[in-house]
Amino acid sequence: MSGAAGLPEDARASVVTVSDRAFRGSYSDRSGPVLAEGLAALGFAVDGPAVVPDEREQIAAALRAAIAAGADLVVTTGGTGLAPRDVTPEATAEVIERAVPGLAEALRAAGRAKVPTAVLSRGLAGVAGRALVVNLPGSTGGVRDGLAVLGPVVGHAIDQLRGVGDHRAVDHRAGGQGGGGSDAHGTGVEPAAGP
């Protein structure tokens, strides 16, 4: 049975805020709570926001901890820009196994109509184990735009990662055979085998 946004009823999300100032307590984390509230409205049970500094190792550790705790979706806010300490994408790249570039591009495009500098966000989206990991900007507006993009697709993504329906899980790295799956468009139709 599915909840809001086509989510499984037991869907779990984790929020990680990346900010030196919020970590030190000199700045109130605004985007993390907005993100947590928005994910809860989509139907997720939400952990966090956990607040970490702009340190690559600590960001990667927070992502790994959320995944190990069973999160289906891990969303970061902050650290995706061009400033020297903006290293969220680099930390995320250490954790994810497969990129989902279309989602990252859709997130940038959603913000571009309102804020032209949204195209400077270097945020990534990808898969780590059975979790979807997504980087959002550190602004409340960027988080709201990101939630609008995630809402319609995240339930389907989680179904695919869980191997639900015609999306049976296959471990391609181990040469697993399981059939099912889907093409890049999520149609569930694979191309015919050649001669």
* Phi-psi category of residue 107: left, alpha or beta, with phi > 0 → left and psi -120 to 50 → alpha: alpha
User: What pairing do the DSSP bridges indicate for beta strands 73-77 and 131-136?
Assistant: parallel
What's the whole-number average pLDDT of the chain?
Answer: 87
pLDDT at 152 over 50: yes
pLDDT at 179 over 90: no
pLDDT of residue 113: 84
Q: Please name the amino acid found at residue 59.
A: I
Mean pLDDT calculated for residue range 154-182: 64
Which is higher by pLDDT, 175 or 75? 75
Mean pLDDT calculated for residue range 59-78: 98
pLDDT of residue 161: 97
Longest dimension (CA), the chain: 65
Lowest-confidence pick of 5-9, 86-90, 128-132: 5-9
pLDDT at 109 over 60: yes
CB atoms closer than 10 angstroms to residue 6: 18
Q: Where are the alpha helices (DSSP H) in the chain?
A: 20-24, 31-42, 56-68, 88-95, 101-112, 140-162
pLDDT of residue 5: 64
pLDDT at 40 over 70: yes
**pLDDT digit string, tens, across residues 70-87:** 999 999 999 999 999 999
Which is higher by pLDDT, 170 or 66? 66
What is the token pair recorded at 19?
Answer: 């900010």
